[in-house]
């Protein structure tokens, strides 16, 4: 029993990876599932489609590794954060589609709470802002909208959870209703200082305590899988939200270390140690991870649209057949054109937090074509990262010189990573193992099981694939950043 299974349940697909004891990959399974868009700004997932994709991915990964489930020492789970589910405790059947983190249906409610002066209390307790991004307002919407849901919730018949809780419930045959501190900390219902569900927040969002899961450390006993699923009862020993798992997988264990993950969205986390930093620049204070009862905090900047802009170019505009074509296409763009895309398809995240903003492209001419649009989409991710790092440096004065560790699908593009280093005017480090989110979940489970090394030994195994250093002159950089700033200001509805 030396293998570790990581479940990486993402926004557009589910992936399972079987890791060897030496952290190399033995087997992989991955399956996409549909995105549901009921209205403008609304995003949902079918929970059963997620569950089926996870089961398929696990079984495929185990078969790919050529092992039996009985050879797996432990399972680690990482998941898309904030996506919200409520299900029946007896049947396990969800009462509604999952409401995805990108969903903006509660924007008006958040605006009302802000107008009532509630954001200060919420931020003080949770480190978060009043935004539809987080789970709390989604829970209220479900309880208020689904017929009979509120009465059933108050009677203890329903269970709320983020995707990790739902998967654990299903994997354990309904025996465990649990989550970890990183996922709990993204709900607007959890006090990250006292590390507990907060009665004032529950009252504000009208959420009955009876539907809440138990909150555990990131490396903990989350139950065992039902033997009928995979032919063996396997312990689940690690859980963390995807960005926290990536922070762990990138071995950002020391204060001041910074990672940024480029998936559907982009999320940068700066480890601030045991000190919780209260942002003055519209960043989030969040739990980086909680181990052995000790909480490590982080500053986080959240970009809602990163790789999703590339998906739009591929699937919406049909300018490319494969996402990997956007890098070479961007490289062929006319350098004299200054085209900017502000990808506010579901609003703008940090540091703007404008839920009503929508996407725009500026600077188009008759000579603009697919190459210029692709270039603008990739550059937008880099510009947004620069906005986040500027805000972090203002909040965290001890950060010193920035070296950014990157991961996620987009970092495979050398062109994009070079432009990122140029815009940041700072080095960008791409690791040899790009599956850092799954790796972080695997380390939580593997270290808890005693199969993988401790934190310091694990950190020593982090290996660099390539470092990108700035090559752009300062005059060009300033001009490009000024153009980006102008494009953002033109897009904001809250300016």
Tokens of 395: 């909040």
Given CATH 3.30.420.40, say whether it is the number of domain 251-431+463-495. yes
Helices then strands, counting H and E runs in the chain, come out as 17, 22
pLDDT exceeds cutoff 90 at 493: no
The helix-helix angle for 414-424 and 474-491 (nearest 10°) equals 90
**Cβ distance 202 to 260 under 8 Å?**
no
Running DSSP on this structure, what letter comes out for residue 194?
T
Specify the residue for token string 């099981």.
449
Residues 6+ apart with CB under 8 A from 259: 246, 247, 250, 252, 268, 269, 404, 405, 406, 407, 436
Q: Write down how long the chain is.
A: 495
Mean pLDDT of the chain: 91
CA gap 366, 241 in Å, rounded: 44
407-442 confidence digits (pLDDT tens): 888 888 898 899 999 999 989 999 988 888 999 999
The predicted pLDDT at position 472 comes to 93
What is the rounded end-to-end Cα distance, in angstroms, of the chain? 57
Asked if the domains 3-242 and 251-431+463-495 are classified in one and the same CATH topology, the answer is yes
Q: Phi then psi for 389, rounded to 5 degrees?
A: -70, -35
Using only C-alpha atoms, the chain has a radius of gyration, in whole angstroms, of 22
Bridge-partner residues for 285, per DSSP?
299
The predicted pLDDT at position 396 comes to 81
172-231 confidence digits (pLDDT tens): 999 999 999 999 999 999 999 999 999 999 999 999 999 999 999 999 999 999 999 999
| Other CB atoms within 10 Å distance of the CB of residue 188 | 29
User: Which CATH number does 3-242 carry?
Assistant: 3.30.420.40
**Cβ distance 295 to 274 under 8 Å?**
yes
Strands (E), 224-332: 236-241, 258-262, 266-273, 284-291, 294-303
CA gap 307, 311 in Å, rounded: 6
Which band of pLDDT confidence, cut at 50, 70 and 90, is reported for residue 47? very high
The predicted pLDDT at position 264 comes to 78
CA gap 361, 266 in Å, rounded: 19
Q: What percent of the chain has pLDDT over 90?
A: 66
Residues 6+ apart with CB under 8 A from 89: 156, 157, 158, 159, 174, 177
3-class DSSP state of 434: coil
Residues 6+ apart with CB under 8 A from 152: 158
80-122 confidence digits (pLDDT tens): 999 999 999 999 999 999 999 889 899 999 999 999 999 999 9
pLDDT exceeds cutoff 60 at 495: no
**Cβ distance 73 to 2 under 8 Å?**
yes
Residues 6+ apart with CB under 8 A from 124: none
Each residue of 11-47: b (16+ CB within 10 Å) or e? beebbbbbbeeebebbbbbbbebebeeeeebbbbbbb
Q: Phi then psi for 199, rounded to 5 degrees?
A: -65, -35
Which pairing describes strands 284-291 and 464-468: parallel, antiparallel, or unpaired?
A: unpaired
pLDDT exceeds cutoff 90 at 153: yes
Which band of pLDDT confidence, cut at 50, 70 and 90, is reported for residue 265? confident
Tokens of 157: 């018949």
C-alpha torsion angle, residues 217, 239, 162, 117 (rounded to 10): 50
Q: Where are the domains positioned within the chain? A: 3-242, 251-431+463-495
The helix-helix angle for 119-126 and 107-115 (nearest 10°) equals 100
Which band of pLDDT confidence, cut at 50, 70 and 90, is reported for residue 398? low
**Cβ distance 253 to 455 under 8 Å?**
yes
Strands (E), 292-445: 294-303, 340-342, 360-362, 404-407, 428-431
Each residue of 89-121: b (16+ CB within 10 Å) or e? eeeeebbbbbbbbbbbbbbebbeebeeeebbee
Specify the residue for token string 């470092």.
467
Total-model pTM: 0.86
């Amino acid at each position: 029993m030396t293998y570790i299974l990581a479940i990486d349940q993402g926004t557009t697909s589910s992936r399972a990876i079987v890791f060897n004891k030496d952290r190399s990959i033995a087997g992989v399974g991955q399956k996409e599932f549909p995105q549901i868009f009921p209205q403008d700004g609304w995003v949902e997932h079918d929970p059963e489609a997620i569950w089926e994709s996870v089961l398929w991915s696990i079984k495929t990964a185990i078969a790919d590794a050529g092992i039996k489930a009985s050879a797996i020492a432990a399972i680690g789970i990482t998941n898309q954060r904030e996506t919200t589910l409520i299900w029946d405790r007896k049947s396990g059947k969800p009462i509604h589609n999952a409401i995805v983190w990108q969903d903006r249906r509660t924007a008006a409610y958040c605006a009302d709470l802000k107008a009532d002066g509630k954001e200060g209390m919420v931020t003080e307790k949770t480190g978060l802002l009043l935004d539809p991004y987080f789970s709390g307002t989604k829970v209220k919407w479900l309880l208020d909208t689904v017929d009979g849901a509120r009465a059933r919730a108050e009677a203890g018949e329903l269970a709320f959870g983020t995707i990790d809780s739902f998967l654990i419930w299903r994997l354990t045959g309904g025996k465990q209703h649990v989550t970890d501190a990183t996922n709990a900390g993204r709900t607007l219902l959890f006090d990250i200082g006292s590390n507990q569900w907060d009665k004032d927040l529950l009252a504000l969002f009208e959420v009955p305590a009876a539907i809440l899961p138990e909150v555990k450390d990131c490396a903990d006993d989350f139950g065992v899988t039902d033997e009928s699923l995979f032919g063996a009862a396997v312990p689940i020993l690690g859980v963390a939200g995807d960005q926290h798992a990536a922070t762990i997988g990138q071995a950002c264990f020391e204060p001041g270390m910074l990672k940024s993950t480029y998936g559907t969205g982009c999320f940068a986390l700066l480890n601030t140690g045991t000190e919780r930093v209260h942002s003055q620049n519209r960043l989030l204070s969040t739990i980086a991870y909680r181990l052995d009862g000790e909480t490590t905090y982080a500053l986080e900047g959240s970009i809602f649209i990163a790789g999703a802009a590339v998906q739009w170019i591929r699937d919406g505009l049909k300018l490319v057949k494969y996402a990997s074509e956007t890098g070479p296409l961007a490289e062929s763009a006319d350098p004299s054109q200054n085209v900017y895309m502000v990808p506010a398809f579901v609003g703008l995240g940090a540091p703007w937090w404008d839920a009503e903003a929508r996407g725009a492209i500026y600077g188009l001419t008759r000579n603009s074509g697919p190459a210029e649009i692709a270039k603008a989409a990739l550059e937008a991710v880099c510009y947004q990262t620069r906005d986040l790092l500027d805000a972090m440096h203002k909040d965290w004065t001890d950060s010193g010189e920035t070296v950014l560790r990157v991961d996620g699908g987009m970092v495979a593009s050398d062109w994009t990573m070079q432009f990122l280093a140029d815009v940041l005017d700072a080095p960008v480090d791409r690791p040899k193992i790009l599956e850092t989110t799954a790796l972080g979940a695997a380390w939580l489970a593997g270290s808890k099981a005693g199969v993988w090394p401790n934190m310091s030994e694990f950190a020593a195994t982090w290996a660099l694939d390539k470092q990108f250093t700035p090559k752009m002159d300062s005059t060009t950089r300033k001009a490009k950043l000024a153009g980006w700033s102008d494009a953002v200001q033109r897009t904001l509805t809250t300016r």
